[in-house]
């Protein structure tokens, strides 16, 4: 039965080529946009290199100070705050401190090269999962000695040394010479906590360690022993914040800082300013946006399907006259519509691959590496099925309710 339905669906698609083109274009374009957006979302917030263990990682990226008059200022926390308070938490397995990346200049063969530089401690390389192409990370001794060593990404290696080995070679950044000890795979700029072109020991900025203010240019990464400890860490962190000494009580009445997942930090920055990260609201807005985006092409497909099915009213009348039930007729048209939608879905996947390839090579997103992994592909298949059911069930149900005589007359009512 299913095989016959698919054969009929293929013949129907060939009968009205213009309707078929409009249907396939609407499905493939809509799914292409949703697939690319889903891939971008996964690329920014999902478990990707080097932040693979997202179920065990929390990030401290913001310190907000609120005054008596209601005004507030916010920015990255200071090294002092992260070292004297966050590092002393008992529940985490490890805590890493790194700087916000800064743009620096270098010169290769008299050509200016703009690089992003990040200062990190040794724990940074333990809580994150970088893919090393050459060498190693700098060790604890090199950090303690403030050694002029550096880990670079593969793009920087290419700019400096071409295809030659980089280990043991020197690079000059902002007129400071560093010896390369490791080369890692490029990290996308969307990964703000780990992204850089060059990573060097944090102790090279130890002149900033003496600043006992709570705001600065650093960020922390907290690694839990197991995923179940995430809630405990947040509770301990909240208790710790209640003990933080406010240095300027005349200007600041309250302090706010939270250990967030990547997505929680984004939602809090965009929507929430208080204790709640507004993550639920963020998911609701995403779902609403996806629903509204799919609604218009779905309505168009419903109208097209009604027109297509109306042309087959005589066929429906004959089938009902020979005893076909409404359930059987609905099943046939739903199978046909899902078949059409899956074809459109395959075209959408092909278009998605093309658009992702263009994004990866355009430089719009630095070091972007969008792709159709298992999660993104699963979302695409699910969206195809939902799309087919939504746009096919209503017109099929409407036509199946006609009696045989009315259907033979063309279903005018």
Asked if the model's pLDDT at residue 90 lies above 80, the reply is yes
CA 383, chain centre distance (Å):
18
CA angle, 55 then 198 then 59, to 5°: 25
Give residue-wise pLDDT tens across range 250-259. Answer: 777 788 899 9
Asked if the model's pLDDT at residue 412 lies above 60, the reply is no
- Exposure string of 392-410, with b = 16+ CB inside 10 Å and e = fewer, is bbebbebbbebebebbbee
Read off the pLDDT band of 80 (50, 70, 90): very high
In angstroms, the Cα distances linking 346 to 195, 295, 350 are 34, 20, 6
CB neighbours (10 Å) of residue 9?
18
Choose between 321 and 248: higher pLDDT: 248
* The predicted structure's pLDDT at residue 404: 55
- 182-203 average pLDDT score: 94
Read off the pLDDT band of 122 (50, 70, 90): very high
CA 332 to CA 340: how far, in whole Å? 12
- 55-60 average pLDDT score: 94
Choose between 133 and 294: higher pLDDT: 133
Asked if the model's pLDDT at residue 341 lies above 70, the reply is yes
Lowest mean pLDDT among 27-31, 65-69, 401-405: 401-405
Residues of the chain with pLDDT > 70: what percent?
Answer: 79
Q: Where are the domains of the chain?
A: 2-47+281-408, 62-259
Instruction: Pick the closest to residue 193 from 241, 286, 261 (CA basis).
Output: 261
Choose between 35 and 127: higher pLDDT: 127
CA 147 to CA 186: how far, in whole Å? 23
- 389-393 average pLDDT score: 70
Q: What is the DSSP annotation of 6-41?
A: HHHHHHHHHH-HHHHHHHHHHHHHHHHHHHHHHHHH
CA 306 to CA 232: how far, in whole Å? 55
Choose between 326 and 57: higher pLDDT: 57
In angstroms, the Cα distances linking 342 to 7, 120, 216, 379 are 15, 48, 52, 13
pTM of the model: 0.79
Choose between 247 and 361: higher pLDDT: 361
The mean predicted confidence, pLDDT, of the chain is 83
Read off the pLDDT band of 403 (50, 70, 90): low
Residues of the chain with pLDDT > 90: what percent?
Answer: 35
Two tokens at 351?
A: 């278009």
In angstroms, the Cα distances linking 15 to 105, 209, 328 are 63, 74, 23
How many residues are present in the chain?
413
Q: What is the DSSP annotation of 98-159?
A: EEPPEEEEEEETTEEEEEEEEEE-TTHHHHS---EEEE----HHHHHTT--EEEEEHHHHHH
Could you tell me if 224 and 59 are in contact, meaning their C-beta atoms sit under 8 angstroms apart?
no
Max CA distance (Å), the chain = 92
In angstroms, the Cα distances linking 190 to 201, 247, 356 are 22, 33, 15
* The predicted structure's pLDDT at residue 413: 45
CA 46 to CA 398: how far, in whole Å? 42
Asked if the model's pLDDT at residue 72 lies above 70, the reply is yes
* The predicted structure's pLDDT at residue 369: 82
* The predicted structure's pLDDT at residue 93: 95
Instruction: Pick the closest to residue 389 from 298, 328, 286, 292 (CA basis).
Output: 298
CB neighbours (10 Å) of residue 141?
9
CA 96 to CA 221: how far, in whole Å? 5
Read off the pLDDT band of 166 (50, 70, 90): very high
Q: Residue 60: CB partners within 8 Å, gap ≥ 6?
A: 77, 82, 86, 219, 220, 221, 222, 257, 258, 259, 260
Asked if the model's pLDDT at residue 232 lies above 60, the reply is yes
* The predicted structure's pLDDT at residue 14: 61
* The predicted structure's pLDDT at residue 79: 95
């Amino acid at each position: 039965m299913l095989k016959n339905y698919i054969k009929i669906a293929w013949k129907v698609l060939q009968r009205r080529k213009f309707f078929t083109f409009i249907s396939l274009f609407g499905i493939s374009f809509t799914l292409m946009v949703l697939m690319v957006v889903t891939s971008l979302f996964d690329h920014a917030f999902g478990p990707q290199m080097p932040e693979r263990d997202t179920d065990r990682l929390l990030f401290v990226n913001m310190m907000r100070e609120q005054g008596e008059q209601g005004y507030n200022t916010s920015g990255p926390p200071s090294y002092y705050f992260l070292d004297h308070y966050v590092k002393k938490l008992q529940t985490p397995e490890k805590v890493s401190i790194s700087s916000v990346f800064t743009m620096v200049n270098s010169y290769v063969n008299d050509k200016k090269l703009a690089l992003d530089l990040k200062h990190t401690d040794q724990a940074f390389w333990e809580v994150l999962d970088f893919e090393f192409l050459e060498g190693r990370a700098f060790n604890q001794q090199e950090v303690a000695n403030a050694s002029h060593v550096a880990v670079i990404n593969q793009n920087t290696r290419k700019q400096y040394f071409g295809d030659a080995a980089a280990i043991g070679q020197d690079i000059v950044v902002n007129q400071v010479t560093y010896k390369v000890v490791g080369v890692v795979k490029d990290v996308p700029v969307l990964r703000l906590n780990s992204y850089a072109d060059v990573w060097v020991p944090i102790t090279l900025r130890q002149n900033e360690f003496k600043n006992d203010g709570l705001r600065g240019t650093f960020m922390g990464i907290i690694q839990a022993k197991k995923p179940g400890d995430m809630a405990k860490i947040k509770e301990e962190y909240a208790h710790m914040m209640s003990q933080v000494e406010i240095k300027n009580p005349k200007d600041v009445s309250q302090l706010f800082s939270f250990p967030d997942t990547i997505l929680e930090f984004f939602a809090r920055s965009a929507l929430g300013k208080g204790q709640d990260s507004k993550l639920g609201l963020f998911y609701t807005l995403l779902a609403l946006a996806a629903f509204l985006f799919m609604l218009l092409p779905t309505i168009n497909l419903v109208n097209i399907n009604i027109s297509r099915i109306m042309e087959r009213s005589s066929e429906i009348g004959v089938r009902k006259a020979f005893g076909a039930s409404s359930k059987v007729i609905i099943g046939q048209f739903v199978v046909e519509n899902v078949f059409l939608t899956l074809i459109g879905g395959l075209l959408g996947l092909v278009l998605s691959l093309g658009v992702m390839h263009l994004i990866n090579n355009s430089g719009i997103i630095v070091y972007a590496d969008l792709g159709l992994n298992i999660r993104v592909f699963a979302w695409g298949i699910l969206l195809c099925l939902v799309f087919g059911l939504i746009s096919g069930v209503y017109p099929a149900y409407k036509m199946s309710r006609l009696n045989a005589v009315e259907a033979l007359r063309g279903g005018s009512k």
